[in-house]
Each structure stands twice: as structure tokens, then as C-alpha cells.
Structure 1
Amino acid sequence: MTQILATTLGPVRLLGDNPTPIWGMANAERNRRMAESAAKNGSHLAAGHELVFNLLYAFDPLLLRLVLETPGTLFAWGRTPIVGQVPQGSDPLAAPHVIDLSDGRRLYNRQLRKLEQPMVRELTPATRREIERRSYFGAYKGVTDLLTKYLWPELALILTRIAAQLKMTPNMVSVIGVTLCLVATFLFAEGMYWTGFLSGFIFMVLDTVDGKLARCTITSSKWGNVIDHGVDLVHPPFWWYFWGTGLAYWGLSLSTRAFALVMAAVIAGYVLQRLIEGMFLKDFKMDIHVWRPFDSQFRLVTARRNPNMVILFVSLLFGRPDIGLIALAWWTVLSLVVHAVRLAQAYAVKRSGRPIVSWMDEAEAAA
């Protein structure tokens, strides 16, 4: 069975039929959403070409991005076409560039900063939950902080599945999360650190859920991304500031001079570190944390919100939230120094005439 869909991206040919749902929708609808999302992001089909999707299979969206970059490319599993951009009406397996993924090859996903074998799996009632699980973890960034990577992926998977079944949009999840972020800020200011931690923890988990829900259900939006990334960027300094003012309720207030120095280190260090990351991205067209393996490992613990919350949590266990804030300030300064040194080293490498290449690109080429 073959269907032809008209999308804003161009003609889409659907091979086969499949009644098994994935993330609460038919596979044909999921593929249609991927095509429409690609069009919104500026992708287009080459003249005289069409997209081909095999409805009997589910696959990593990375494959769609790659076939849109190179007309005439088809990803296959053995002799079975999976997804491709091929001349209209042609035999997909006769495409100029047929790439068989059954050989176990790994591909580098620049968007998610990871190198892995992309998911391709036959979609059946028996495999649906495993495919959802793999597509969920496939949406995880390979280079991220230790909490996002190790602590709550399973919890976030459960919540993502529940949200998908309830037909919640990522923006709905974001609104709940932002509300809890504001509640946590208020509770920190009142010295109610444990309750604030609970609100903040749920917000941090939902900060993962909204992004995974958007990727798994192909429902991301421009404003949703603005809200999500905007809140992520802005709120941490407010948390640290009001954590400091809340120390008064514990009888642990810092002196005016000490509080000013801590805030200067925390806020200036955070802003400067973000600027360094932006400079690296602008000048070298890659995230600073994917340059060398050291940078990817340091991203696990660098002074971002989640690792900083670990520092504050440990300090609370010992009843010294003041020491936690001071330790956070020192860790921010140290992280800033590491990033500044890495940026300087990258510029030195560039001046020497050597290319700045991600270790993941090198690993993909070697594979």
C-alpha cells in the first residue's frame, strides 16, 4: 500500500500501512509531523524529489535531517527502505546514495551532541513500548549534566508517556514547570530550603519532560523553545541570590561584604561562562563541550544549575546552607577559569592553522 501526502515540505510517499500507535498517534501522523517540522525549520526538497517513509518502521529523526541535507539519499535496513529523499515515483532502493544501517554504523547527531547508532525498529504492538523508550532516550543530549544524564531519565520517561497519553502539549508542561520555578524562588527567599528544593526538583524534571515530549511527539514550537530556553537562561542567578537572602531565617546571614563578593562571583561567573560558550559556538561552529573528551566530561559537573543544586543539597544535609552558597561561588569561578582557558587554547589552535574538530566527528570518521 502506498499513500502520497501533500505537505508544506513537498510530496511525501508513505510505504505500507501500520495501525500500531507510537506516542499516542499513528505512525503516518508522526511522519507527517516530522515533514512539517522540517519545513518550519527551513528545510526543503530538491526539485523533482519526494520524501519516502516506511510506515512499518520507526526511526530516529536524525535520519530525516540527514536525507534532507543530501538529495538522493536513502537509509535502508538491509534491502528494506526506511526513509529517504528520492526522485519522485522512483524505486527507493535505486537512489544514488543508499546507506544500509544494519551494519551497525554510528552517526554524529550535532543537535544533541552525541555519537551513536540511530534507532531503526519495526513498529509492532510487541515492540511499541521499547521503541518509545529508545526514541525517548534518543532525544537525550549525549553531553549534559550528571543529574539530567543519570538521576531522573526513568522518572522523566514515565512523565513523558503520561503527558503524551493525556494529549498535553510541551507548552502545558512548561507552564507547570515555570510556576514551580517561581514558587521555588519564593521559598528560597523565605529560607524554606527543603520545600523549595522539592519545587525546584520537580521543575528541573519537568524541564526535561517538556523537551522530550516535544521531540517524541514532534510538537515543538518557536515560542515554546523561547520560553523553555529563556527561563533556563534567566532563573539560576535569581535562585542563588534569594538563597543568600534566605540565610537570615537560619541565623546564617553572610556579612554585607561577603554576600556582595559571593553574588559577584556567582552572577558574573555565570554570565561570563555563558558568553564564552557563545563565543566558542560563533567562532568554531560547535558547542565548547564537544571539542575534546575532557570538555564533554567537564560538562557533567560545570557550574550550571543542576550541579550547583547538588552542592547546595549537600550543604543542607549538614545544616550549613551558607557554606553551600560560598562553595557554589568558588565552583563557579573555577568553572569560569576552565572555560576561559579552553577558549584561549582553541584560538591558539586556530592561529596555528590546525582545524577545530569535535572528537565526536573524528570518532564518526574513524568508524
Structure 2
Amino acid sequence: MSQTITTTLGPVRLLGDNPTPIWGMANAERNRRMAESAAKTGSTLAAGHELLFNLTYAFDPLLLRLVLETPGTLFTWGSTPIVGQVPQGVDPLTAPTVIDLSDGRKLYNRQLRKLEQPMVRVLDPATRRAIERQSYFGAYKGVTDILTKYLWPELALVLTRIAAQLRMTPNMVSVIGVTLCLLATWLFAQGMFWTGFLSGFIFMVLDTVDGKLARCTITSSKWGNVIDHGVDLVHPPFWWYFWGTGLAYWGLSLSTRAFTLVMVAVIAGYVLQRLIEGMFLKDFRMDIHVWRPFDSRFRLITARRNPNMVILFVSLLFARPDIGLIALAWWTVISLIVHAVRLAQAYAVRRSGKAIISWMDEAEAAA
């Protein structure tokens, strides 16, 4: 049994039927959303081709991106078609490129910076929750900070499921998060560090939830991404500045000279580090943190918001938020130096005539 539906992307053939919902929607609706989302990002189908989805299965969205990049590609599980961009009206198994994923091969997901075997599973009532869990963790970046990777994934999964059941949009979650972010900034300025830390912690978790909700329910939007990434980019220096001014309420104000030096370190260091990351991405077409295994490991602790908050949390445990801010400044400078050295090393490698290739690409080729 199959049916063809029309989407902005083009004709989509749905194989079979499946009443089992996933993330609060039918699998046919989820696949339709994936096709429409791909069209919004500029993807197109080759002339005379159609997109094919097997509704019996749930699969990693990475597979859709790959088939859209290469017309005539079909991913299968054994001899069962899963997803592909194939010539219209023909047996999909006769597609020019048929890739069987049941052999356990791993694929590199550049968007999420990780190398793993993509999910392909039969969707039924017995497997639904496990598939939702796997698709949720599948939406996680493989290279990220230590808190996002290890501390709150389970909590964010629960909140993502609740948000999906309540039919909340990612933008709704983002609005709640931004409100808490602003509240944390004000609380830091008032010296209410513990309360501000709690507000900031919830915001940091929701900062994960909105992205995972968007990916799992296929409801991301251009403006949602702009707001989410814009807030992420802008707010950290404000947190560190108002943490510094809030020290007055603890009787731990830094001297004018010390405060100026700390702010130059944390703000200029943050801006320069992000510029280095942007230069690496522009010149080498990859994130600096996926070049070599060292870079991926260093991303766990580099001076971004979440690792910096660990430093401040430890300082609060010892009732010395002033020392925490100074330690944050030093760690920012150290992280900046590491990134600058890695950028210089990459330019040196390119000048020597060698290609700059991610270790994940190398691992995928070896597999």
C-alpha cells in the first residue's frame, strides 16, 4: 500500500500506514513536516524524482538530508526501503544508489558534530517511547559542553515530552527561557547570586529543551533560530558584568583596576574566541571543535557560559563569588590562547599543502 502526497518540496510517496503516534503526531505527519522543513531550507528534488518514506519505520532526519543532497539514493534496512530520493513510479530498490544500514555503518552528522549509526527502527506501540528517547538523544550535538552533554539530558527529555504533550511550540519555551535569563541578569546585579543561579540554571536547561522540541516535532522556524542563537550569543557578557557589580552586596567588590581588568578579560576574551571560531568555520568549512579529537574534548570545558557557571557555582559554595569571577577571567584568557594557537596551527597545516579534515570524517571513511 502506498500513497503520494504533494508538498512544497515536491511529490512524496508514503509506503504503508502507521497509526502509532510519535511526539504527539502521526508518522505520516512527521514525515510531511520533514519534507516541508527541507523545502524551507532550500532543498529541492531532482527532475523526475520523488521522495519516499516508509511509515512503518522511524529514522534519523540525517538520512533525509543525505538523500536530498544526492538524487537517486535510497537507504534500506536489509531489503526494505526506508527513505530515499528515487525516480518516480519505479521500484525504489532499482535506485542507482542503494545503501543498506543494517550493516551497522556509522555516518558523520556535520550539523550535530557527531559520528554514529543513524536510527532506523520499526515504530509501534511497544517501541514508541524508546524511539522518542533515541530521537531526542539523536538531536544532541556530539561535541558540546560538559553540562549539556552529561548533566541535564534526562531532565531536558522529561521537559521536552511534557512540552510536546501540551502542544507547546519551541518559541513558547524560548520566551520562558529568555524571561528567566533576564531575571537572572537582574538578580546577579542585586547580589542575589544563589537565586540568580537557579533562574539561570532553569534557563540553561530550557535552552536545550527548545532546540530539542523543535527537532523532535519538526517545528523549527527561522525567527525561532534567530532568537535562540541571538540570546545565546549576547547574554553571557552581561551575566559576568552584573555578577561583578553584584559583589558590592557581599562586601567583596573588586577594586576599580581589578574590575576593569577582569571585564576586559571576560568580555574581550569571549568576543575574540567567538571570532576565532567564526574564522575557522569560514576558512576551513568546519567547526574548530571537530578538527582533531583534542578540540572536541576541549569543547567540553572551554570558556563558554555553561563551564563558566560551574566555576561560579564552586565559588559560591565557598562564599567567594569574587574569586569565582577572577577564575572565570583567567579561564577565558587560557581558552582564548588555546583557540588562537589551534587556528594558527590550522593555517600552518594548510600552507604545508595538507588538507584540514575533521577526525570524524576520517573515522567515517575508515568505517
Name the TM-score class by shorter chain. over 0.9
Deviation at 1:3, TM superposition (A): 1.1
Superposition pairs of residues 111-122 of structure 1, within 5 angstroms: 111-122=111-122
SS at match of 2:302: coil
Aligned to 1:213: 213
Partner of 1:141: 141
Distance in 1 (alpha carbons) for counterparts of 2:68 and 2:115? 19
Report the Cα distance in structure 2 between the residues aligned to 1:148 and 1:41, rounded to whole angstroms. Answer: 26
Determine the C-alpha separation between the residues in 2 that align with 1:90 and 1:270: 54
- Within 5 Å, which residues of 2 pair with 1:336-347? 336-347=336-347
Deviation at 1:277, TM superposition (A): 0.1
Answering whether residue 33 of structure 2 is matched by residue 33 of structure 1, we say yes
User: Deviation digits for residues 180-219 of structure 1, max 9, x if unmatched?
Assistant: 0000000000000000011000000000000000000000
Using the alignment, how far apart are the partners of 2:164 and 2:93 within structure 1? Answer: 34
- The answer for the alignment partner of 1:14 in structure 2 is 14
Sequence identity (%): 90
Shift of 1:346: 0.2
1:76 CA drift (Å):
0.2
- Matched residues in 1 for 2:250 and 2:93: separation? 69
The answer to whether the aligner puts 1:93 opposite 2:126 as a matched pair is: no
Aligned ranges for residues 327-342 of structure 1 at < 5 Å? 327-342=327-342
Task: Show CA shifts across 1:252-293 (max 9, x none).
Answer: 000000000000000000000000000000000000000000
TM-score calculated relative to the size of structure 2? 1.00
Query: 1:232 is aligned with what amino acid?
Result: D
Letter in 2 for 1:28: A
The corresponding residue for 1:102 is 102
Q: Structure 2 counterpart of 1:249, which letter?
A: Y
Residues 326-351 of structure 1: CA deviation (Å, up to 9, x unaligned) = 00000000000000000000000000
SS in 1 for 2:350: helix
In structure 1, C-alpha distance between the alignment counterparts of 2:73 and 2:307, rounded to whole Å: 41
Structure 1 residue 325, shift from structure 2 partner: 0.0
What are the within-5 Å matches in structure 2 for residues 343-358 of structure 1? 343-358=343-358
Correspondence 1:102-251 to 2 at 5 A: 102-251=102-251
Query: Residue 360 of structure 1 aligns with which residue?
Result: 360
User: In structure 2, the residue corresponding to 1:142 is in which secondary structure?
Assistant: coil
Whole-angstrom distance in 1 between the partners of 2:71 and 2:178? 41
**How many positions carry a matched residue from both structures?**
367
Partners in 2 of 1:17 and 1:165 — Cα distance?
23
Take 2:251 and 2:296, find their aligned partners in 1: how far apart are those partners?
A: 40
Q: Report the equivalent of 2:266.
A: 266
Paired residue secondary structure (1:17) = coil
- Deviations 1:280-315 (CA, angstroms, capped at 9, x unpaired): 000000000000000000000000000000000000
Q: How far apart are the structure 2 equivalents of 1:95 and 1:162? A: 41
Inter-partner Cα distance in structure 1 for 2:108 and 2:287: 14
Q: Give the TM-score normalised by structure 1.
A: 1.00
Structure 1 residue runs of 5 or longer lacking an equivalent are: none
Distance in 1 between residues matched to 2:144 and 2:246, nearest whole Å: 29
1:218-246 deviations in Å (ceiling 9; x for gaps): 00000000000000000000000000000
AA aligned to 1:235 is: H
Q: RMSD value over aligned CA atoms?
A: 0.3
Q: Which runs of 5+ in 2 are unaligned?
A: none
